[in-house]
Chains A and B, each alone.
Chain A
Amino acid sequence: MPRYFTQDHEWIDVDGSDATVGITDYAQSQLGDITFVELPAAGSAVAKGDSASVVDSVKAASDVYAPVSGTVSEVNAALEDEPELVNSSAESDGWLWRMTLSDAAELEGLMDEAGYKTYVEGL
C-alpha cells in the first residue's frame, strides 16, 4: 500500500480508491503535546488543500490540509478521548480520517517516503 507525503506534513496511505490520512511524526514532534483534534464530519466532501482538520497543541492550533480531494468515510474516534495518540503514534494508530478519492491523479504531485525524508532534512 503506497504512502505519500505532502510539504505540509500530512501522510496518506492509498489502497485503490480508499485512503487513510494523518500527520507525520516530524509534524507531531514540532507541535508538541496534542490536546485536541477537530476531525471532519464523516460524509463530508474535502478538496485538495482544504483545511479538513485542526490539531490543537498546548501552544497552538494547526490546520491539517486534505492531501487530495474526496469524501470522508470515517474518522478516528479514538482521538476523542486520546488525542495524544497523535504524539505517540502519528503514522499509525494516530491516523485522522479515511476518505474515498475522487481524483487519483492528484496523488502525482506528492512525495514518497524517501522524498519526504530529504525534504524534512532540508528544513
Chain B
Amino acid sequence: MGKVFAVILVVIALASAVPIITHTWYGSRISLSPPEDISTHGHAIDEQLSETMIEAGLLFLAAQSLLAFFVWTFADPKDDTEIKTFPGGARAMVITALVLVGTEILALGVFGQKAWANVYFRPAAPDALEIQAQAGQFAFYFRYPGVDGKFGQLHPDKIDEGNSNFFGLDPANDVESRDDIVAGELAIPVQREIHLLMHAKDVGHSFYVRELRIQQDFVPGLDLSVHFTATKVGKYEIVCTQLCGLGHYNMKAYLNVMSQDDFEGWMKQKVSEQ
C-alpha cells in the first residue's frame, strides 16, 4: 500500500512540474506564461516571478521526491513495532531545514521587494500625465484635467450618472471643472509616464491590466495612485479584480495606448465634445 502512495506522490510531483517548466515558454501555444509585457517596469516583475517559480518549484519537486522515496522505503515495515524516534535523531535535520527554507523565503522577499518597491515607492516623475481613475459599481471612468491642466473639485452630491456626471463635477459654479474630460476608456500616449490617481466611488474595486503588470486596489476614502509607462501601442483590457457586487463580472474598461499624434487627436475630439 505504501508503494501506491509513493507512486501517487511522484505523479503529483510530475503534474506540478508542467506549469513550473512551461511558465517560461513565452509566446508558445501551450505556454502558461503571462501575456506580453508592455510596460517599462514589467520585466523586473516577470523576472522575479520566474525566479520565484523556478526556486520554489525545484524545492517543491525535491521535497516531493524525497517524500516519495521515504514512503516507498519505509511505509510497509516487516515487523509491527511502533517507531518512536527518528533514526539517528532529527534535531539537526529539522534545524537545517528551517534555516534553509527561512533563508530562501527571506531572499525571495528581499529581492522581490526590489522589483515591486521600485514601482510602488518611487514617486511619479513631475511631468507625468495625471489622469484620475474612478471605480464604481460597475464601470471605470477616467478624467483628464482638460485644457487648463487643472482638475475641478469633486462634489459627491452632484453625481448624476444619467447625465454623464460620473465624478460629481459642478460646472455651474466651478470653472476649473468645465473643461475636464471624462471618458469610459483609458486613452494614453505611448512612452509617456502616466500617473493614475485612484478614487473609489462606492466599494472596494481593483485596477488590473495584465499586460502592464499592474494590479492595484481602489479603497474607498483612500487616495491611492500608481504610475507606469506603456511601451506598445494597442488596446488592452482593464478588469476589476476585487469582488464588488452583482455586476462585478461585467466591470471592465479598455486601456487604449496610442501614438503621441493619435492621442492628441483623441484629446481634440474629446475637447470638441465638451
A and B associate in one complex: no
Where the two chains meet, the residues of B that have a C-beta atom closer than 8 Å to any C-beta of A are: none
